[in-house]
Amino acid sequence: MKTYTFVCLAGNQVATAVDIQDLAEDAYRRHALSLLRDHASAETIEVWRDEAVIALVERAGAFLGAPAAG
């Protein structure tokens, strides 16, 4: 497990939420996508490990899944 910091950024690059998680190395992208689903104001999720950005997950082009039929 590694510690990741997820920063939700609005379109104007203002941080709207920060989330810190201990995750398996292959799970950080899935968590970033779940944050995009949960935070409508986020356009991009910066994924940090230690002192470096390791990924940018953008809403544009991301498959977030269809809402459940009801």
pLDDT digit string, tens, across residues 27-67: 999 999 999 999 999 999 999 999 999 999 999 867 665 54
User: What pLDDT shows up at residue 65?
Assistant: 58
- 24-59: buried (b, 16+ CB within 10 Å) or exposed (e) per residue? eeeebeebbbebbeebeebbbbbbbeeeeeeeebeb
Distance CA 45, CA 4 (A): 12
pTM value is: 0.85
